[in-house]
């Protein structure tokens, strides 16, 4: 069972992961984007981290919604709206809940992905965070169908996300600033896909502790 405390720990862990990978994410973005993904994400999640102590008495939906509002107001570029949408949509899947079943977590992952698909208009193979989030949702859903627990389902989701991220390397970008580079976007992992992978990985790490 994923508790409200787990959610707070996950958001803190993700903020730390972004801070530790800020330079790497910016380096990836320098190759195919605006060279600001790490900087923007770190700015947004530093604000999320500072906000977490005020959310300890909130239910999970309210926490995710608060994170969404913070990200939308503090992250520039495409990342703010996309991550903000992910957390906002995710919040609608678990209204009023203090703990989540594996089915609830699947709801968060699926509605978050649906929001990103609608907002960003990207498809699988466009070299975006969708290429990481979509296989992760599929793998998690498959695990739930097989009656696996949340931890095992998340383990499978993270493996699928990592494979999806690797598969962005040979892709030519079709969305965002990277798409302007044409074939020069080939050979680099997608920065947004990388931060999406870190988001899922940090959730798994919290669940495994």
Question: Who contacts 201 (Cβ-Cβ below 8 Å, separation ≥6)?
Answer: 17, 158, 161, 162
Question: Who contacts 145 (Cβ-Cβ below 8 Å, separation ≥6)?
Answer: none
Which residues of the chain register pLDDT less than 70?
A: 177-180
pLDDT for the residue numbered 180: 64
Q: What angle do CA 59, 104, 20 make, to 5 degrees?
A: 70
| Own/partner pairs, 199-203, CB within 8 angstroms, 24+ separation | 199/14, 200/132, 200/133, 200/136, 200/154, 200/157, 200/158, 200/161, 201/17, 201/158, 201/161, 201/162, 202/10, 202/13, 202/14, 202/16, 202/17, 203/10, 203/13, 203/14, 203/154
In DSSP notation, 120-131 reads H---TTSSSTHH
CATH code at position 27: 1.25.40.340
Above pLDDT 70, what percent of the chain? 98
pLDDT for the residue numbered 79: 87
> Regarding beta strands 99-100 and 2-3, do their DSSP bridges make them parallel or antiparallel, or are they unpaired?
antiparallel
Q: Could you tell me the residue range of the domain that residue 172 belongs to?
A: 2-208
Q: Domain total for the chain? A: 1
SS3 112: helix
pTM across the whole model: 0.95
pLDDT for the residue numbered 107: 98
pLDDT for the residue numbered 74: 92
């Amino acid at each position: 069972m994923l508790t409200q405390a787990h959610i707070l720990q996950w958001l803190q862990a993700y903020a730390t992961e972004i801070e530790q990978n800020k330079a790497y994410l910016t380096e990836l973005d320098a190759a195919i984007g605006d060279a600001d993904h790490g900087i923007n994400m770190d700015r947004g999640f530093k604000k999320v981290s500072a906000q977490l102590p005020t959310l300890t008495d909130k239910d999970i939906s309210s926490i995710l919604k608060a994170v969404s509002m913070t990200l939308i107001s503090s992250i520039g570029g495409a990342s703010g709206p996309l991550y903000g949408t992910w957390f906002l949509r995710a919040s609608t899947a678990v209204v009023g809940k203090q703990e989540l079943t594996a089915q609830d977590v699947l709801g968060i992952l699926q509605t978050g992905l649906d929001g990103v698909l609608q907002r960003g208009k990207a498809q699988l193979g466009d070299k975006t965070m969708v290429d990481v989030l979509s296989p992760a949702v599929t793998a998690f859903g498959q695990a739930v169908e097989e009656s696996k627990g949340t931890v095992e389902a998340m383990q499978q989701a993270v493996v699928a996300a990592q494979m999806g991220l690797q598969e962005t390397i040979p892709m030519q970008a079709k969305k965002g600033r990277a798409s302007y580079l044409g074939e020069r976007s080939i050979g680099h992992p997608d920065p947004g896909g990388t931060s999406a992978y870190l988001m899922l990985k940090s959730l798994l790490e919290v669940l495994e502790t």
